[in-house]
């Protein structure tokens, strides 16, 4: 029968769709990780991945095993947890990089300090990709923007905090600054990728403020867009991240939008029932306590 390490190796490969990438995560050689996968497939009696020269994708049998294997690992890691007063084990958490630069970055730091026996594995990516991984069971939860689409019945999203969408542009020797409508005449627009969840908010902001923009570049990274604006390559509409020194950054200027303010809502995406609910509940309670302190 396969060991817990073999089962963890299977989940890592299912997340990364690569034996080599999974091996780096769990501290094995690629050859050892490949052998462990072969051992698991031999024990079960079926292949679990559709293989090509460049990638590995879970097949029907593999997808059906992700959730039960996750539960086995969860039960193993929480053995003895009833005798402890703190959370332990591992949670695999998807997170937008921009949320780590925002309010969730502070929360992550507090979790690690308050629960030293809790291991948090972070996977960076896009909100829409995280949804697919949650459905497959290769992620326990994800910190994402609110979906503009209806979610599957077995998935739930809980709002944690909001960030106003703002216009940013390169700092220039212009004490008066620019209004949002003047920006289009001065700079090309650097757009967040249209088909992403944050991209929909950018479009809403443009419409709400009746902005005529001069299209420039399109990227799927808030942090990359901010850096390009700092370098003077254009202006952008982005969420106002909590851990960016907007007011003191000598390379950036912020222009408040005169029309309706659009907010990016950031929340916790998870299956309605999963093995790491105790941990996700702590995350949700943390943000609820912040709201109560503000009131």
Q: Which residues of the chain have pLDDT under 50?
A: 83-85, 295
The pLDDT, as a whole number, for residue 116 is 85
Domains of the chain: 1-66 (1.10.10.10), 164-264 (3.40.190.10)
The pLDDT, as a whole number, for residue 94 is 92
The pLDDT, as a whole number, for residue 85 is 47
**Full-model pTM:** 0.71
Q: Is the dihedral of CA 187, 193, 194, 196 positive or negative?
A: negative
The residue count for the chain: 295
Q: Which residues contact 133 (CB under 8 A, 6 or more apart)?
A: 15, 94, 123, 125, 139, 142
Which tens digits make up the pLDDT trace of 104-120? 887 888 888 888 888 88
For residue 189, give Cα distances in angstroms to 164, 232, 256. Answer: 19, 11, 16
The pLDDT, as a whole number, for residue 127 is 82
Strands 49-51 and 215-219: unpaired
Contact by Cβ (8 Å): 268, 142: yes
């Amino acid at each position: 029968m396969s060991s817990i390490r073999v089962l963890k190796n299977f989940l890592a490969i299912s997340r990364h769709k690569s034996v080599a990438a999974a091996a780096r995560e769990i501290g094995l050689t690629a050859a050892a990780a490949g052998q462990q996968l072969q051992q698991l497939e031999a024990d079960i009696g079926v292949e679990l991945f559709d293989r090509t020269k460049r990638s590995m994708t879970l097949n029907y049998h593999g997808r059906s095993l992700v959730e039960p294997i996750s539960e086995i690992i969860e039960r193993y890691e929480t053995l003895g947890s009833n005798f402890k007063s703190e959370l332990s084990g591992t949670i695999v958490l998807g997170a937008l990089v921009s949320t780590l630069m925002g309010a969730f970055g502070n929360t992550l730091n507090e979790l690690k300090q308050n629960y030293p026996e809790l291991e948090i594995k972070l996977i960076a990516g896009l909100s829409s990709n995280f949804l697919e991984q949650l459905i497959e069971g290769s992620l326990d939860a994800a910190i994402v923007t609110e979906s503009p689409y209806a979610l599957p019945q077995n998935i739930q999203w809980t709002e944690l905090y909001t960030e106003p969408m703002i216009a940013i542009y390169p700092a220039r020797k212009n004490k008066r600054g620019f209004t949002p409508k003047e920006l289009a005449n001065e700079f090309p627009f650097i757009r967040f990728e249209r088909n992403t969840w944050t991209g929909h908010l950018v479009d809403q902001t443009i419409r709400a403020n009746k902005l005529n923009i001069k299209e420039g570049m399109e990227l799927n990274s808030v942090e990359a867009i901010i850096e390009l604006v700092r370098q003077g390559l254009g202006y952008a509409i982005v969420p106002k991240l909590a851990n960016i020194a907007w007011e003191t950054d000598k390379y950036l200027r912020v222009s408040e939008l005169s029309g309706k303010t659009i907010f990016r809502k950031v929340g916790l995406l998870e299956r309605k029932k999963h093995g790491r609910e105790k941990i996700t509940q702590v995350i949700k309670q943390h943000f609820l306590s912040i709201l109560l302190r503000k009131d």
